[in-house]
Amino acid sequence: MPTHPAKTALRRAGRVLSAVGFVIAVALCADTVSAAPTPKPLPDPTPVVSTVPAAAPDLRAPDIQAILDRGELIVAMTERDQPPFYYVGPDGQLVGLDATLAHDIASRLGVKASFNRSPKSFNEVVELVAKGGADVAISKLSRTLARAQMVRFTKPYVTFRHAMLFNRLRLAQHTSEESLPKLLRGLKGKVGVIGQSSYEGFLGQYFPSATAVPFKNWDEAVAAVFAGHVLAVYRDEMEIQKINQSRKDASLSLKPVIYKDMKDPIAMAVAWNRPHLAAWLDVYLDSFVTDQRATDILRTYGPTKEKP
């Protein structure tokens, strides 16, 4: 059992997260974590308790055994970087929250992580896993009912709220500020989303009067809302807040709105016929304090951290 790489991965994750006072408590000291769920950084994770007790080889579930036999965990992600979840860092390595999780999970299983980044959209990631092309999707995936028909989702490891970014000028032409919340509930007009993403589905589900305008990627959608070609763009709160970091003058022309009762749980996905892998991942995720807020993730993994 190669414990050493696991520990390094663990330390790295622990260091980054504890820097903002947040614990991603890792399975190393599962008891300690459940007993003390305070957001206090854990002490240095020296292996006082042994990491993963090796199970008797012949009793392992077949879906886990298949991964161990192969010696690598194939993780599906979209072709396009999604900082701060996964992106190619300055040294050419894949970094970010999802990448850290993937490496940590693989080392828990005692295998290496390899990444399949052929999917062009989030829905294609789900399809890839459903077809058996990858063991698990760790790709900032939103849980949706449509996707859950194909794959088995784990517990969410991050929960975002839905958010929109409005073009202020178009918004002012639509309504006075007085009736703004009312307008936001019965939204009409053109709303930009990433094509083949969960938010394309959410829009039809929660805002039936709005017209979805699918874009190839998020950057094009954001450019469109800046130009006023669409009234708003729709995604999770973190992506909405990130725009202010990349374009400091964004607030002059754009207005962020968060739908506080609309949750976007981000979870991993495995094929439906691999229930035990999903159950194992839930056990793994249970050892986390999973109430991470978008701002904290953004601060820890955000694009500002990319370039030191």
Instruction: Note the residues at the interface with other proteins (CB under 8 A).
Output: 162, 168-169, 171-173, 176-178, 180-182, 184-185, 206, 241, 244, 247-253, 255-262
Alpha carbon distance 45, 145 (integer Å): 38
* Beta carbon nearer to other proteins, 134 or 243: 243
State the nearest-atom distance from the C-beta of 218 to other proteins, in Å: 19
92: helix, coil or strand?
A: coil
Q: Round to whole Å and give the CA distance between 33 and 191.
A: 42
| 180 token code pair | 């703004």
In angstroms and rounded to an integer, the radius of gyration of the C-alpha atoms of the chain is 20
**Quick check: 203 and 191 in contact, CB under 8 A?**
yes
Q: How far is the CB of 254 from other proteins (least distance, A)?
A: 9
Residue 64 or 258 with smaller CB distance to other proteins: 258
Q: Which is nearer to other proteins, 50 or 179 (CB)?
A: 179
Q: Least CB distance from residue 190 to other proteins, whole Å?
A: 17
Instruction: Tell me how far, at minimum, the Cβ of 293 lies from other proteins, in Å.
Output: 13
Instruction: Kindly report each contact of residues 126-132 with a partner whose C-beta sits within 8 Å and lies 24 or more positions away, as own/partner.
Output: 126/150, 126/151, 126/269, 128/76, 129/76, 129/269, 129/270, 129/271, 130/271, 130/272, 131/271, 132/271
**Among residues 44 and 178, whose Cβ is nearest to other proteins?**
178
Residue nearer to other proteins on the CB measure, 112 or 299: 299
| 159, burial (CB in 10 Å: exposed 0-12, middle 13-18, buried 19+) | middle
Say if strands 72-76 and 87-88 run parallel, antiparallel, or are unpaired. Answer: unpaired
> Residue 93 or 173: which CB sits closer to other proteins?
173
Which residue lies nearer to other proteins by CB, 34 or 251?
251
Sign of CA dihedral 81, 84, 86, 90: positive
> How do 210-215 and 189-194 pair as beta strands?
parallel
Q: Which two tokens stand for residue 52?
A: 């993963």
Give the nearest distance from C-beta 232 to other proteins in angstroms. Answer: 12
Q: How far is the CB of 155 from other proteins (least distance, A)?
A: 23
User: Phi and psi of 23, rounded to 5°?
Assistant: -105, 120
Nearest approach, Cβ of residue 292 and other proteins (Å): 18
Question: Is residue 84 helix, strand or coil?
Answer: coil
**Least separation, in Å, of the C-beta of 166 and other proteins?**
9
Pick between residue 2 and residue 228 the one whose CB is nearest to other proteins. Answer: 228
300: Cα separation from own chain's centroid: 14
